[in-house]
Amino acid sequence: MTLDTVKHAGETPDTEQPWSELGLKQDEYARIREILGRRPTGAELAMYSVMWSEHCSYKSSKVHLKQFGEKVPANDAMLVGIGENAGVVDVGQGYAVTFKVESHNHPSYIEPYQGAATGVGGIVRDILAMGARPVAVVDPLRFGAADHPDTKRVLPGVVAGIGGYGNCLGLPNIGGEVVFDSCYQGNPLVNAGCIGVMKHEDIHLAKASGPGNKVILYGARTGGDGIGGVSVLASETFDDTKPTKRPAVQVGDPFQEKLLIECTLEIFAEKLVAGIQDLGGAGLSCATSELASAGTGGMRVELDTVPLRDATLSPEEILMSESQERMCAIVEPQHVERFMAICEKWDVIATVIGEVTDGERLEIFWHGEQIVDVPPGTVAHEGPTYHRPYARPSWQDALQADDAGALPRPADGAELKDQVLRLVSSPNQASKAWITDQYDRFVQGNTVLAQPEDSGMIRIDEETNLGVAIATDGNGRYAKLDPYTGAQLALAEAYRNVAASGAKPLAISDCLNFGSPEDPAVMWQFAEATRGLADGCLALGTPVTGGNVSLYNQTGDTAIHPTPVVAVLGVIDDVNRRTPIAFAQEGQLLYLLGDTREEFGGSAWSEVIHGHLGGLPPTVDLDREKLLGEILISASRDGMIDAAHDLSDGGLIQAITESCLRGGKGARLIVPDGLDAFTFLFSESAGRAVVSIPRSEELRFTDMCGARGLPATRIGVVDGQELDVQGQFAVTLTELRTAHEGTIAGLLA
Amino acid sequence: MTSRIGVVTFPGTLDDRDALRAARLAGAEPVPLWHRDKDLHQVDAVVLAGGFSYGDYLRAGAISRFSPVMETVIEQAKAGLPVLGICNGFQILTEAHLLPGAMLQNDHLHFVCREQRLRVENAATAWTADFAQGQEISIPLKNMDGRYVADERTLDELEAEGRVAFRYLDGNPNGSLRDIAGITNAAGNVVGLMPHPEHAVEPLIGTGGTDGLGFFTSILKKLVSA
Amino acid sequence: MARVVVDVMLKPEILDPQGQAVQRALPRLGFDGIADVRQGKRFELDVEGPVDEAALARIHEMAETFLANTVIEDFVVKVES
């Protein structure tokens, strides 16, 4: 095959090009020809197609994502906002924290182990590229029905992949979620989050400036991994009739990534780079065009210098390859020698593949012949923007009218007990220890809290005990009933989780998992959820630092539940003041904070007992969430509480069960006046938490709640070895433990 | 003079910083050692820390065992230098034949991370003297290849000579023969175990226990009295 | 270039959970009649120069000291034409 050079393209304007096969629309192809003033070369077409794909260009979602930049709360913690590899937040004492959640849904369905593993690898490189040392990972996961045979294929593979990769990197896995729902059967959600820490002065940005500076590609050799994976894998709905659309899956090498991390941190420490970018989706196409367009625009790359694992790769394939464990750095000439020496120390291959030029074009050469000549901004940022039609689905009203409050309720104490045991042993509410025990949560020696605590917490300074906390939450059932409220509930829950562990919520990242944007109903869900999230962040004062959108999560015509996953980052001045969930001290008083209403729409109870999804999700009161958060943080700082647990899916009984089992102590509960036992135990009203208070602190605590206007109801005491709901039923901790802890291993081991 | 405890970093070592911190908290001077450097920089004892050196490719510990630093460690360990191998470090010690037996993948084929109770079966080694014989301790365990195996004669010999240093309690987490969690050489200067003492040295961190500190205070006392 | 293959297998007495897991899966997949499965490793070495006795002796030594851990594994060296 002859090389399709720029010159050749100019001479052969009528050559047919496979723009459609590469996922481009006719008007997009026409736009490329217009930008270039000629037809694109094969290499240029590859770059545009991959960078203008949904996954890279956010073409369907960006008109809605704009709100995150417009509805920005007054918050001086933001150091770097949306648009970079990840946002950066000031956490005090000169430290900055960067964090982000990304999806790796489709690859994880095709090859669960490698899909999940490379998802971890990708998000860690994103964080690293900001100049930060990665310090922890979290993994929000969603699978099909727990008892479905395919879940037994996908889940163990995903979990082993996350563990196999993350454990080998030496990053503690401190949180996340595992949710089962048949809507995810053919489309599991594998989201991966990472937190990194740096000093303010170490923040690095992805830009190539300074003509004469060298472009260095370092890390793994480039192979045929995931060629076209970005545009095809991430943007097309699965369709069994077109198996040829399943290209090679990327394979991860965590050992190589560990070396890349240590090598890069040493390079940062010596201040050797002027700009840096990780290679993820769209590989070199993305890295070169983004670096160049964020700088002065000019870059010249000799593509034939890229070290290859497979010598037969064409230039187009090299540009598209998604081989893992690679980074691209911009280095001033006088630092190149030292840069190379550090790479050699860590056995990392590094190659100068080009340099920054004073022009405004990205020029790529293959054995001396020019195959790419483009304005890099048109590749990286000037992709199409779609204003996709959206409309409230016709079935939404009927769904909301199907009120869960009308479902039959338990008639007596015996039935209540039976339903409690069914709830806490159901796959979604059961202990996930079988899964999380496959992740290393101790490595680095800074883990203060990890799953099943409300948030994961990491100490970031050994002298001052400064720490950060992170919680991720999302409830597709709530969002299906009402996407606006559902997104706010995800935000509120993650916010509450961080506050319950004693940390002050600062900022959020999100991973928005939805069905096909070509379906107006899905697009409406997306529009509503982003609007809800943006409004919620404004109200809570927690800006969106960045995030990820994953669309086309559906099988055939059936979309997953809209699933916005929200990660809230918090800071705690002294990790000694953290609040665990465990009820560990007998005699401590239990208080329920917030208001309990008859709210069962989308609840765990309605799912487990009745297999029902309908009605409205719990109402959201963000001012109340903020107040609850402030009380929880004050109480932790002043030593008024020794345990706290947020209330969310499964309601009070779920929280009490987890806290009792974690601490190995029982509790006596009294149903408060004005509530029936059923609502008390199973309601999922938002804005609530349960706390355990030493008797000596009771007055001080209730005075504080009274003065601030937060309802605080005494509901019992930590006591004995059983959970006794007075006048209703009692269950021994052993029975509760068997129910709660046996389920997942029983289904999957 | 403060005793110097060296911690080796191989490519893929993960718990080196934790081991250095544990040595410091115990009162030693922590000294980072590099796998390519044969020089042990006058350390008084060496810790081979946990992790996945060389990605556990080939076999856990198999490639690191041939590194330049290990030439010196092997030579000096035979001459009495105290060496503690934790997790991957234990695997390296068996690959280097400083300790008998070998480590294989957990019998349940999963990575396991949990708090693990152990019984100190030999409180006379360089790294366990601060414990009481038979003392029960609790420290984190986290590994993929943690199943200790050796032939029956070797196992009988270890038992007879009191060289089983630690045994798992409350259930065997990985299928190790005779519940063995750690062993010592005959001289008591080279000790290897799968669980992680360096992750249990501060009240608030990890499991919240500090039973791991005893390993480091043991060696410090021994070095001071030597 | 001549190729020499080194096959490394766990010794018969050593438990092989991976092999067992494969064996347990076979009937589920419709493959009956397999009494036991043991999983091993295969190394393909492309040798520069002649594969003579001296070269084979070196490869044997390499297998014994590095490719296999003879505490738990056996190995076989084969010359492939």
Q: How does pLDDT run across A50-69, given as a tens digit for each residue?
A: 899 888 888 999 999 999 88
- Whether residue A483 is preceded by a cis peptide bond, meaning omega within 30 degrees of 0, is no
SS3 B76: helix
pLDDT at residue A232 in the model: 39
CB A186 within 8 A of CB A555: yes
Band of residue A84 on the pLDDT scale cut at 50, 70, 90? low
A27 touches chain B (CB under 8 A): no
For β-strands A189-199 and A275-278, DSSP reports them as: unpaired
Q: What is the DSSP string of A338-382?
A: HHHHHHHHTT--EEEEEEEESSS-EEEEETTEEEEEE-HHHHHT-
> Residue A133 half-sphere exposure, CB side, CA atoms within 13 Å?
16
Task: Give partners of B (≥3 CB pairs < 8 A).
Answer: A, C
Work out the minimum CA distance from A447 to partner chain B, whole angstroms.
Answer: 5
What strands lie across the sheet with A369-374, from one edge to the other?
A: A275-278, A326-331, A214-219, A350-357, A298-302, A362-366, A369-374
Look at phi and psi of residue A318 and say left if phi exceeds 0, alpha if psi is from -120 to 50, else beta: alpha
B138 touches C: beta carbon within 8 Å: no
B34-67 per-position pLDDT tens digit: 999 999 999 999 999 999 999 888 889 998 999 9
Return residues 5-34 of B near A (CB < 8 Å): 11-12, 14-15, 17-18, 21-22
Q: Are strands A189-199 and A133-143 parallel, antiparallel or unpaired?
A: antiparallel
Does residue A104 carry a catalytic annotation?
A: yes
Structure tokens at A401: 């009218």
C-alpha angle B145/B151/B155, rounded to 5°?
A: 90
* Contact present, A93 and A465 (Cβ < 8 Å): no
CA dihedral sign, ordered A65, A71, A73, A77: positive
CB proximity under 8 Å: B 35-74 to C: 58-59, 62, 66
Find where tokens 């602190």 sit. Answer: A697
What pLDDT digit, counting tens, does each position of A185-212 carry? 999 999 999 999 999 888 877 777 889 9
B143 close to B176: Cβ distance less than 8 angstroms = no
Res A479 pLDDT > 50: yes
Q: Which of A163, A255, A256 sits opposite B111 (nearest CB)?
A: A163
> Is A259–B11 a contact, with Cβ atoms under 8 angstroms apart?
yes
B91 touches chain C (CB under 8 A): no
Are β-strands A722-725 and A729-732 bridged in parallel, bridged antiparallel, or unpaired?
Answer: antiparallel
Mapped onto helix, strand or coil, the DSSP state of residue B36 is coil
Burial of A541 (0-12, 13-18, 19+ CB in 10 A): middle
The residue with greater pLDDT, C71 or A86, is C71
Q: Which of A21, A25, A83, A16 is nearest to A52 (CA)?
A: A25
Contact B62 C71 (CB under 8 A): no
Residues from chain B contacting residue A442 (CB–CB below 8 Å): 113, 140, 142, 196, 199, 206-207
Could you tell me how far CA A111 lies from the centroid of its own chain? 20
Give the mean pLDDT of A165-171.
Answer: 95
* A170 contacts on B by Cβ (under 8 Å): 14-15, 51
Residue B52's pLDDT is what?
94
- At which residue do the structure tokens 């090389």 appear? A3
- Residue predicted with more confidence, B210 or A74: B210
CB contact under 8 A, B149 and C14: yes
Is B71 catalytic? The answer is no
**Of A631-635, B129-133, B206-210, minimum mean pLDDT range:** B206-210
Could you tell me if B204 lies within 8 Å of chain A, comparing CB atoms? yes
Over 60: is that where the pLDDT of A398 sits?
A: yes
CB contact under 8 A, B112 and A437: yes
Q: Which chains touch C (3 or more CB pairs under 8 A)?
A: B
On the CB side of A161, how many CA atoms lie within 13 Å of its CA? Answer: 30
Q: Is there a contact between B142 and A167 if contact means CB atoms under 8 Å apart? A: yes
Cβ neighbours of B201 in A, within 8 Å: 445
Q: Is B175 on the interface with C (CB under 8 A)?
A: yes
What pLDDT does residue A83 have? 63
Check B87, B95, B121, B199 and give the catalytic one: B87
Residue that is written with structure tokens 């190790």 in the block: B176
- Chain B contact for A160, CB < 8 A? yes
Q: Cα(B78)–Cα(B72) distance, rounded to whole angstroms?
A: 10
Cα dihedral sign, A368-A372-A374-A379: negative
Of B62, B105, B107, the CB nearest to C66: B62
Mean pLDDT of chain C: 89
Q: Does residue A94 register a pLDDT over 50?
A: yes
Instruction: Tell me what the mean pLDDT of segment B58-84 comes to.
Output: 95
According to DSSP, residue A114 is labeled H
CATH architecture assigned to B4-225: 3-Layer(aba) Sandwich (3.40)
Region A285-305 average pLDDT? 92
Partners of residue B107 in chain C, C-beta under 8 Å: 15, 17
**Euclidean distance between CA atoms A292 and A208, whole angstroms:** 5
Residues of chain A contacting B21 with CB distance shorter than 8 Å: 445, 462
Q: Per-domain residue ranges for chain B?
A: 4-225
Phi-psi bin for B204: left (phi > 0), alpha (psi -120 to 50), beta? alpha
Could you tell me which residues of A are annotated as the binding site for Mg(2+)?
A: 102, 126, 278, 548
C-alpha span between A147 and A181 (Å, rounded): 10
- For the stretch A628-676, pLDDT in tens is 999 999 999 999 999 999 999 999 999 999 999 999 999 999 999 999 9
A410-419: long-range contacts at Cβ-Cβ below 8 A with a sequence spacing of 24 or more? A410/A678, A413/A677, A413/A725, A413/A727, A413/A728, A413/A729, A414/A729, A416/A677, A416/A678, A416/A681, A416/A725, A416/A728, A416/A729, A417/A728, A417/A729, A417/A731, A419/A605, A419/A608, A419/A609, A419/A682
CA atoms A282, A288, A289, A295: torsion sign: positive
pLDDT reported for residue A11:
94
Half-sphere exposure of residue A340: CA atoms within 13 angstroms, side-chain side: 12
Give me the sheet containing B164-168, strands edge to edge: B29-34, B4-9, B45-48, B83-86, B190-193, B180-184, B164-168, B112-120, B136-143
Distance from CA of B91 to the nearest CA of A (A): 15
Can you say how many angstroms the Cα of residue A102 is from the centroid of all Cα atoms in its chain?
5
- DSSP assignments along A288-340, one per residue: HHHHHHHTTSEEEEEGGGS-BSSTT--HHHHHH---SSEEEEEE-GGGHHHHH
Q: Does residue A428 carry a pLDDT above 60?
A: yes
Report the pLDDT value the prediction gives residue A234, as an integer from 0 to 100: 36
pLDDT band at A238 (very low <50, low <70, confident <90, very high): very low
Average pLDDT of chain A to the nearest whole number: 93
Could you give the 3-state DSSP secondary structure of residue A185?
coil
The third-level CATH classification (topology) of the domain covering C2-80 is Mth169; Chain: A , (3.30.1280)
CA angle B144, B148, B151 (to 5 degrees): 145
**pLDDT of B1 higher than 80:** no
C→B interface, C-beta within 8 Å: 10, 13-15, 17-18, 21, 66-67, 69, 71-72
The yes-or-no verdict on residue B212 having pLDDT over 60 is yes
Poorest-confidence range of A61-65, A408-412, A729-733? Answer: A61-65
Range of lowest pLDDT (A130-144, A300-314, B121-135) = A300-314
CA–CA gap between residue A503 and residue A644 (Å, rounded): 12
Would you state the structure tokens that stand for residue B90, as one six-digit string? 């234990």
Q: Show the beta-strand stretches assigned E in A580-637.
A: 589-593
Segment of A85-99, A304-318, A396-410, C15-29 carrying the highest mean pLDDT: A396-410
Q: What percent of chain B has pLDDT over 70?
A: 99
Cβ neighbours of residue B150 closer than 8 Å, sequence gap 6 or more: B100, B101, B102, B158, B177, C71
Least confident range from A226-240, A499-513, A567-581: namely: A226-240
Mean pLDDT of A588-603: 98
Q: Among candidates A468, A515, A484, A456, which has minimal Cα distance to A619?
A: A484
Beta-carbon contacts of residue A66 (< 8 Å; ≥ 6 apart): none
Under 8 Å between Cβ of A470 and A498: yes
* Chain C residue with minimum CA distance to B58: C67
Lowest mean pLDDT, pick from A352-361, A400-409, C72-81: C72-81
Surface-to-core class of residue A223, CB atoms within 10 Å of its CB (0-12 exposed, 13-18 middle, 19+ buried) = buried
Contacts of C13 in chain B (CB under 8 A): 151
Alpha carbon distance A743, A740 (integer Å): 7
Which position among A64, A104, A612, A740 bears the catalytic label? Answer: A104
Please answer yes or no on whether B55 and A253 come within 8 Å at the CB atom.
yes
Q: How many CB atoms lie within 10 A of CB A145?
A: 16
CA-based R_g, chain B, Å:
16
Q: Is B104 on the interface with C (CB under 8 A)?
A: yes
At residue B187 the predicted structure's pLDDT band, cuts being 50, 70 and 90, is very high
What confidence score (pLDDT) does residue A614 get? 98
Please tell me the distance in Å from C3's CA to the nearest CA on chain B.
Answer: 20
Q: Measure the CA–CA gap between B73 and B8, rounded to whole angstroms.
A: 10
Give the residue extent of every domain in chain C. Answer: 2-80
Q: Which range (B47-51, B165-169, B185-189, C14-18) has the least confidence? A: C14-18
**Reduced to 3 states, what is the DSSP secondary structure of residue C20?**
helix
Please report residues of B whose CB lies closer than 8 A to that of A578. Answer: 204
What per-residue confidence (pLDDT) applies to B85?
A: 98
> Cβ distance A144 to A154 under 8 Å?
yes
Q: Which residues of A touch B54 (CB under 8 A)?
A: 255
List all residues 6 or more positions away from C58 whose beta carbon is below 8 Å from its beta carbon: none
How does residue A243 score in pLDDT terms, banded at 50, 70 and 90?
very low
How far off is chain B from A392, nearest CA to CA, in Å?
Answer: 45
DSSP A26-79: HHHHHHHHHHHTSPPPHHHHHHHHHHTSHHHH-TTTHHHHHHHHHS----TTEE
Instruction: Say if residue B186's pLDDT is above 80.
Output: yes
**For residue B195, what is the DSSP state?**
S
Closest CB from B12, B112, B199 relative to A445? B199
Q: Which of B52, B110, B142 sits opposite A255 (nearest CB)?
A: B52
To the query of whether residue B113 is one of the catalytic residues in this protein, the response is: no
- Residue A244: is its pLDDT beyond 60? no
Selection from A500, A501, A497, A473 nearest residue A487 by Cα: A473
- B7, B13, B14, B211: best to mutate for the A interface, most A CBs within 10 A: B14
Residues on chain B touching C21 (C-beta within 8 angstroms): 109
Range A227-251 burial, b when 16+ CB lie within 10 A, else e: bbbbbbbbbbbbeeeeeeeebbbbe
Residues A522 and A528: their CA atoms lie apart, in Å, by: 10
B touches C, CB cut-off 8 Å, minimum 3 pairs: yes
- The arithmetic mean of pLDDT across residues B4-11, rounded, is 97
CB A468: neighbour CB atoms within 10 A? Answer: 28
Question: Residue A574 is encoded by which pair of tokens?
Answer: 């002294």
Distances (CA, A) of A401 to A396, A563, B100: 9, 21, 70
**pLDDT of C28 higher than 80:** no
Q: With cut-offs at 50, 70 and 90, classify the pLDDT of residue A245.
A: very low
pLDDT for res A281: 80
Q: What is the ipTM of this complex?
A: 0.95
Could you write out the DSSP letters of every residue in A716-736?
A: EEE-TTEEEETTTEEEEHHHH
